[in-house]
Structure 1
Amino acid sequence: MFSYRFMRMSMSDNLKGAKSISPDEVVTTISNPTGVTETLRVVPKSMETEMHMFGLMYAPTDDLTLMAMVPVLNKEMEHITYSGMMGVTVRGGFGTSSAGFGDIKLSGLIKLYESAMGNIHLNAGVSLPTGSITENDSVLPPNLMMDSMQLRMPYAMQLGSGTYDLLPGITYFSNVGRWSWGGQYMATIRVGENSENYTLGDQQQVSAWGGYRFMPGLSASVRLSFKDEDSVEGADDLISAPVQTANPDYYGGRFIDGVLGLNYVVQSGRLRGYRFGLEYTMPISQKVNGVQMAMDSMLTLGYQISF
């Protein structure tokens, strides 16, 4: 099976824990552990992430499916820069961006159990450090004597993890008549430290979903997802701008999302067997470590063909 997915995630505004915090509050109350200013002087306003995911699946036996996924990423972030060492005088705004290949993922789906009550599969995979972790861009500094300067972009703007990551999990799926349901546990376990002396946080995610088929080929689903993500361990010495995204402690948290999905499989004609999918993800609860931007929504479009 060949697959293609397009994902667009939008983020805006900022949270301190689970509560909103304004840019002025950030630069007057949040300390700057990486620079010479006492408090942060740059605040992110919004972030857009686009991902094109190309996938290939092959089943050498009925009980084993091999998968490879190659992501191409484009990230853009808008910021506000405040003047000087303190105060709430805005100097101006600027944007940064990064684009390129992300980390390639190789995995296997192993059937453990099959019955009329449902199927259970083991997920076993590894993520390869093919995405760049040394992306730079021009920024507008608080220093009024400088118009711009080149800096290493924060962890959120890099394209990969820089480490080999294990991807274990387990999936349950069942269906009766027009109804289907299932659950999944997936984890991302970082192995070692990357070349820039840090390790992204481990992740654990639990999902449960239910679906209904309205007619041959057309179905809808509802999914609930909980994710727990650790903060970054270690630090890249070149990531030192007075912005919250440069602080490795300000990553990760606990997130609950709701997802609505729609799938259509073409039933006849030249496109028979082609599958088209749409998912819309909305946050239900977000409790972040430190200060971070909040997710607004995520849209995913997918296409699959089996041969």
Structure 2
Amino acid sequence: MIRNKHLLLAALLMSVGIYSVCEMCEPLLSKLSEEKKMAHQHMHHHKMMSASDHAPIGIMGDMHHSKFMLSLRQEYMHMNGNLLDGKDIREQAIINLPNTVSNMPANLSVVPKEMNMQMTMLGGMYSPSDNITLMAMAMYMSKSMDLKTFKPMMGRDFIGKFKTSSSDLSDLSVSLLYRFNQSMSSRWHLETGLQQSIGENTSKDTVLTPMNQRMDMILPYGMQPGDDATSVILGLTNVRTFKNGMVWGNQIRNKTVINDKDWAFGDKAEFNSWVQMPLSKSVSISSRLNTTHQDKISGRNILISAPVQTADPRNYGGLNVYLAVGVNLLTSIFSSDNHRFGLEVIFPIDQDKNNLQMKTDYKVIFGYQKSL
């Protein structure tokens, strides 16, 4: 899996590298210098000219053209069914798989059916200069899961259903964005940041055991709001605008855990490529391809030992590809300008998840941004 991650990153870096070479091979350096000067003047006098000035709402770490900006995002994800090594698997096949976390019972006896996750992200951005933007964000997360419990032996009869849930302030992050190249048609910027998970990582709820008893237990990793880990965020973004108004953007973003306690969600590498087309100065539509690779969970909490797939740290991470379609709306409210609303609906194209995991059905992201 590590080899797959390296191949993915190499491919993405090669893609951006080829594009970078083409971008920098302009015929006259003097013309490029003049374009930079005109671009800065253009940005200064025309803040938020069109809805396509900003990336789709699902893109994190996008620079803006104003001094201050506040943002609020709401993301919803629905999961339904299960996958084994990327292929659909039924619950009767799942309960015949071995319980790899503990010896009692010998086989998996609790099966996840549906999961809903909601993330509320409140952020602020401040630009002390044209080329530097400071960003801070807080995330609140809530999760719920519906499960089925089966008898541990003999006929493996169905016992009953139950639901678990958890919620907490999940993490805080701070980042610095630096634009190192700007022309009339293209801009490049780097992102470096730090993320601290502050959410509860030992949340409990009442579960229905294979012995047909209800008891409070520490929820599996995927139901925890946080992992108490510290991570470094690094990103590279390029956005190019064409004469017809179409925008093409590419972004590589990586999150690496640098400090954890008993366990932590795996390192994540993410590549986004999107196209935006303005329908008017106030409305744009977008299409985005997202490729995400995440390692399995590192470490373990020995108290998480229920006979369910989500209790195994190896049943996390993998390579996933999503397609998103979205719309940006720029509007005025109460005679105030620079209000932006964004919406994206995201569907999975390929889910090559590690081992046994729930299947992602769809995601929805809605956001509001206000430039000050």
Q: Report TM bin, short chain.
A: over 0.9
Matched, 1:182 2:249: yes
Tell whether the 8 Å contact from 2:98 to 2:107 is kept in structure 1 after alignment: yes
Superposed CA offset, 1:106-156 (max 9, x none): 111111111234111101111112111111111000013x2x111110111
How many angstroms apart in 1 are the aligned matches of 2:188 and 2:228? 32
Task: Tell me the amino acid that sits aligned with residue 173 of structure 1.
Answer: V
Q: Rg: which structure is higher?
A: 2
Task: Tell me which residue corresponds to 2:370.
Answer: 305
TM score, norm. by length of structure 1: 0.96
- Given the alignment, which residue of 251, 262, 277 partners 2:342? 277
Task: Tell me which residue corresponds to 1:166.
Answer: 232
How many angstroms apart in 2 are the aligned matches of 1:179 and 1:66? 27
Q: Percent identity?
A: 34
- Given the alignment, which residue of 11, 15, 23 partners 2:79? 11
1:269 to partner: Cα distance: 5.6
3-state DSSP of counterpart to 1:272: strand
3-state DSSP of counterpart to 1:24: helix
Aligned length: 303
Aligned pairs for 1:134-145 (under 5 A) are 134-144=202-212
Name stretches of at least 5 consecutive residues in structure 1 with no aligned partner: none
Name stretches of at least 5 consecutive residues in structure 2 with no aligned partner: 1-68
Aligned pairs for 1:151-230 (under 5 A) are 151-176=217-242, 177-194=244-261, 197-230=262-295
Tell whether the 8 Å contact from 2:270 to 2:293 is kept in structure 1 after alignment: yes
Task: Tell me which residue corresponds to 1:150.
Answer: 216
Task: Tell me which residue corresponds to 1:81.
Answer: 149
Task: Tell me which residue corresponds to 2:200.
Answer: 132
Superposed CA offset, 1:19-50 (max 9, x none): 10011100013433334111100010000001
- Given the alignment, which residue of 336, 348, 352 partners 1:287? 352
RMSD: 1.3
Matched, 1:239 2:304: yes
Superposed CA offset, 1:276-299 (max 9, x none): 010000000001111000100001
Tell whether the 8 Å contact from 2:99 to 2:307 is kept in structure 1 after alignment: no
Of residues 32-41 and 272-281 in structure 1, the stretch that sits farther from structure 2 once superposed is: 32-41
Query: Quick one: structure 1 residues 35 and 107, their matched pair in 2 at CA, closer, same or farther if it must change by over 3 Å?
Result: farther
Tell whether the 8 Å contact from 1:133 to 1:158 is kept in structure 2 after alignment: yes
Write 1 or 2 for the structure with the bigger share of helix: 2
How many angstroms apart in 2 are the aligned matches of 1:133 and 1:214? 45
Write 1 or 2 for the structure with the bigger share of strand: 1
How many angstroms apart in 2 are the aligned matches of 1:233 and 1:85? 31
1:198 to partner: Cα distance: 1.4
